[in-house]
Amino acid sequence: MEGRQKLVVNGGKRLEGELKVHGAKNSALPLLSAAVLAHGESVFHNCPQLSDVDAACRILTQLGCKCKRAADTVMVDATNVVGNEIPDNLMREMRGSIIFLGSIIGRTGRCRLTFPGGCELGARPIDLHISSLRQMGAVITEEHGYLECEAPSGLHGAKITLSFPSVGATENILLAAAVAKGYTEIHNAAREPEIIDLAACLNKFGAKISGAGESVIAIEGVQRLTAAEHTVIPDRIVAGTYLCAAAITRGEIILTHCEPVFMNGFTPVLEEMGARIYTYGGGKMYLSCKKSLKAPSTVRTMPYPGFPTDIQAPFTALCATAEGTSVFVETIFENRFRHISELVRLGASIKVEGRVCVVEGVKKLSGAKVRAAELRGGAALVVAALAAEGTSEISGTGYIERGYESLETALRSIGADIKKV
């Protein structure tokens, strides 16, 4: 992921203006996986133009699908799915590829893929994915780093209880159960909006899923799914990152094409800090942050509808110049504070103890050369650099491009002095 490109930011500019929020990466990826199950050509609108989405399209092509993109519409013709293997290089490129397991085994009866390596956030085990599919009749063996998954006589429904409301595991079960024989029930399912979006799309394909968004989801397996059109929901994490960028520069911003309801896990924290937020109908939200910000009460990342782990990093950047001490407890991933040492280089005063990080607000950040090590941590460095006095250089932009559609263009359009070199 290491590229030679970097972002150069001259901080201190107040952001003011209107930004459109693009489609959600973490919805587009499972939706592209779902296309494998649907006979015919599926069409996805509002599909973000991201490197992770490109990687997913490469996997689809590898499986024999025909993929076409026109601006933010992606068409996937899965009439002839011939493959059922995800090659190692593609698995390594994006560990999120694991959500192709459920659709490939559902469509072809087998799947071979390499163990998705750990990533920058920690081990990223897939034990819940494997145990759930085994309960549905899949025979899964692990050898030499490969997962061999077979369902010779197809999958059957099962009553599955997840020990943790895993987003990916819930998605893989939905994909496999949609075309399994009989009835599946998922208990302690993930409730993220991306789960609701996937279920809505599968139901357009002809699936029979109810309860998505709740902790218990019921799926009545059907014989065959048929392609349809679907529009990807807005990206709540990108929206939240834009809000943090405006807030740290004491600016004001209007977001369009967003879904405020999906952001209820963290917009109250911004209001508690002193930002003013108004939501209008039609996907519009307004934030202004005229005065200084106060440190919020302890923030704990939780499964949806709690405070999302993906927005933790941009918030730690925002709190770096808030008045008072902020405490963040990262309960979802084991190693999601890698950006903190880089924020300290920008002048932040932050201590990390295991899964807890304590942010002492400082008056000013100062520009420095920093390096992104993962997607959301990279976004946090951009947020901090916007407020840091002087020039900052952020390398590792490849990580940021996985989840943000030309972040520098968007921020420049509302007054940031930022460019990619």
CB 289 within 8 A of CB 276: yes
Tokens matching residue 32: 């592209």
**Taking CB under 6 A as the rule, does residue 189 contact ligand EPZ?**
no
Q: Pick between residue 241 and residue 321 the one whose CB is nearest to ligand EPZ.
A: 241
**Taking CB under 6 A as the rule, does residue 403 contact ligand EPZ?**
yes
262, 333, 337, 399: residue in contact with ligand EPZ (rule CB under 6 A): 333
Q: Which residues of 83-119 are buried (b: 16+ CB within 10 A; e: fewer)?
A: bbbbbeebbebbbbbbbbbbbbbbbbbbbbbbbbeeb
Burial status of residue 207 (CB atoms within 10 A of its CB: 0-12, 13-18, 19 or more): buried
Tokens matching residue 93: 């490129």
- Which stretch, 9-17, 36-44, 68-76, 160-168, contacts ligand EPZ (CB under 6 A)? 160-168
From the CB of 27, what's the least distance to ligand EPZ, in Å? 8
- Which stretch, 60-68, 163-171, 359-367, 413-421, contacts ligand EPZ (CB under 6 A)? 163-171
Active-site hit among 47, 57, 65, 119: 119
For residue 226, count other CB atoms closer than 10 A to its CB: 12
From the CB of 219, what's the least distance to ligand EPZ, in Å? 18
* Sheet of strand 276-280, all strands in order from the earlier edge strand to the far edge: 16-20, 252-256, 284-288, 276-280
From the CB of 12, what's the least distance to ligand EPZ, in Å? 28
Q: Pick between residue 335 and residue 341 the one whose CB is nearest to ligand EPZ.
A: 335
**Taking CB under 6 A as the rule, does residue 102 contact ligand EPZ?**
no
CB 314 within 8 A of CB 380: yes
From the CB of 29, what's the least distance to ligand EPZ, in Å? 5
Interacting positions 111-140 with ligand EPZ (CB under 6 A) = 124-129
Backbone angles phi, psi at 253, to 5 degrees: -145, 145
From the CB of 414, what's the least distance to ligand EPZ, in Å? 23
Interacting positions 226-255 with ligand EPZ (CB under 6 A) = none
- Which stretch, 11-19, 61-69, 159-167, 254-262, contacts ligand EPZ (CB under 6 A)? 159-167
CB 318 within 8 A of CB 362: no
247, 253, 375, 388: residue in contact with ligand EPZ (rule CB under 6 A): 375
249, 309, 326, 392: residue in contact with ligand EPZ (rule CB under 6 A): 309
Q: Pick between residue 11 and residue 48 the one whose CB is nearest to ligand EPZ.
A: 48
Write the CB contacts of 151 (distance below 8 Å, at least 6 apart in sequence): 105, 109, 110, 136, 137, 138, 139
**Taking CB under 6 A as the rule, does residue 397 contact ligand EPZ?**
no
Q: Pick between residue 106 and residue 361 the one whose CB is nearest to ligand EPZ.
A: 106
**Taking CB under 6 A as the rule, does residue 167 contact ligand EPZ?**
yes
- Which stretch, 32-40, 80-88, 162-170, 252-260, contacts ligand EPZ (CB under 6 A)? 162-170
Query: To 5 degrees, how large is the angle CA 411–CA 45–CA 83?
Result: 115
- The C-alpha atoms of residue 176 and residue 160 are separated, in whole angstroms, by 13
Distances (CA, A) of 420 to 78, 233, 263, 395: 37, 28, 29, 10
Q: Pick between residue 175 and residue 332 the one whose CB is nearest to ligand EPZ.
A: 332
Q: Pick between residue 205 and residue 307 the one whose CB is nearest to ligand EPZ.
A: 307
Per the annotation, the verdict on 149 as an active-site residue is no
Q: Pick between residue 310 and residue 405 the one whose CB is nearest to ligand EPZ.
A: 310
Question: How many residues form the binding site for ligand EPZ (CB under 6 A)?
Answer: 23
**Taking CB under 6 A as the rule, does residue 376 contact ligand EPZ?**
yes
x-or-dash string of contact with ligand EPZ, 20-39, rule CB under 6 A:
-----xx--x----------
From the CB of 323, what's the least distance to ligand EPZ, in Å? 29
- The C-alpha atoms of residue 273 and residue 277 are separated, in whole angstroms, by 11
**Taking CB under 6 A as the rule, does residue 96 contact ligand EPZ?**
yes
For residue 305, count other CB atoms closer than 10 A to its CB: 14
Nearest position to ligand EPZ, beta carbon: 168
From the CB of 256, what's the least distance to ligand EPZ, in Å? 22
Residues designated catalytic: 119
Binding site for ligand EPZ (CB under 6 A): 25-26, 29, 96, 124-129, 164, 166-169, 190, 309-310, 332-333, 375-376, 403
